[in-house]
Structure 1
Amino acid sequence: MTVLKEWMVGNHVFRREEPDLLWCTYKGPTRASDIERFVTIARDMAANDRVFVVSDIRLSTIEKDARELLSQSLRPEWLEGLVYVGADALQKAIVKAMMIALYFTGKCKVNIEFAQSEQEARDIIARSRQAQQSALASAASAAASASKLM
């Protein structure tokens, strides 16, 4: 993937990759100010189209106020999917709890996946893109068939 832009936010690195990927590598504690910057970048990227966000959290922790800001700030219309790389059991529980809360409030209905490596995350996104293309092709075919019947 081609890196279009990279941001350093404290110890964290955010990379925009073609065509629609925001790769986030978190190292050390993640604070609310880091999440504010992430939200700005994700929102700006999503101005054109929904994005996949991969968060490599193997070397990080997230502070409570940062978790709360993240759950309040994410918008489903920005996101095609979320993949967390290297989440331990506690991190998975935190992510799932945040997303369940958002799901029940109607704020977030986004596919969330967990991966153990960068390659696994990229494979998940490739499968998701392929499924989207298949769904679009099926919808186009159904629409063409329906128009022939009229």
Structure 2
Amino acid sequence: MSALRQAVIGEHVATIEPPDLLVLSFRGVIRASHVADYAAMRTELLSDQRYLLTLADLRRVEDVEPACRRSIAAIRDDRAQATAFVGGSFRFRVVAELIANAARIFAHRKLAFRFFPEEAPARAWLAEMRRTFRGV
């Protein structure tokens, strides 16, 4: 993938940074319909990748609809995934950990995630995960 691609999902912006990074900038409320739109976009734009790397900026999130948990858990994707969350309230972190653990157990996903206060260390961790997934 050579060109930067961008999509708007509700109030949120999804940007693909070549070669393999999906950057999600969330604003306001995350709704279940946004999760469905995100999953469709990810399937369309990232279907050729062996693994998924995501940087999720949560610093402007106001709330997450409870229905999002079910929508996220329902996403089926067997590829290895690493998500770096930047910011986010304590409540959001607890919910994210519950969702990720459920996805690991019930959907048998290879899923790694971490929370970071700033973007630079999040990107460094994702670069490390890229090397791990590529087997370097």
Code of the residue aligned with 1:12 in structure 2: it is: H
Aligned to 1:56: 57
TM-score, normalization: structure 2? 0.86
Aligned to 1:4: 4
Judge conservation of contact 2:83–2:126 (CA < 8 Å) in 1.
no
- Which structure shows the higher helix fraction? 1
Q: Give per-residue Cα distances to partners, 1:25-73, cap 9 Å, x unaligned.
A: 0100011111111111122233101220111112112101122101111
Aligned to 2:15: 15
Structure number with greater CO (CA < 8 Å, separation at least 6) is 2
Q: Which of these two proteins has the greater Rg computed from alpha carbons? A: 1
Matched, 1:45 2:45: yes
Aligned to 1:102: 103
Code of the residue aligned with 1:13 in structure 2: it is: V
Judge conservation of contact 2:26–2:56 (CA < 8 Å) in 1.
yes
Cα distance change, pair 122–23 in 1 and its aligned pair in 2 (3 A): same
**Structure 1 stretch displaced more, 2-11 or 45-54:** 2-11
Matched, 1:89 2:90: yes
Aligned to 1:70: 72
Matched, 1:121 2:119: no
TM-score, normalization: structure 1? 0.79
Point out 4+ residue stretches in structure 1 off by more than 6 angstroms.
none
Judge conservation of contact 1:76–1:110 (CA < 8 Å) in 2.
no
Structure 2: which 5+ residue stretches go unaligned?
A: none
Code of the residue aligned with 1:81 in structure 2: it is: A
SS of the residue 1:15 aligns to? strand
- Which structure shows the higher strand fraction? 2
Aligned to 1:140: none
Code of the residue aligned with 1:82 in structure 2: it is: T
Tell me the C-alpha RMSD between the 2 structures.
1.9
SS of the residue 1:107 aligns to? coil
CA distance in 1, matches of 2:64, 2:20: 25
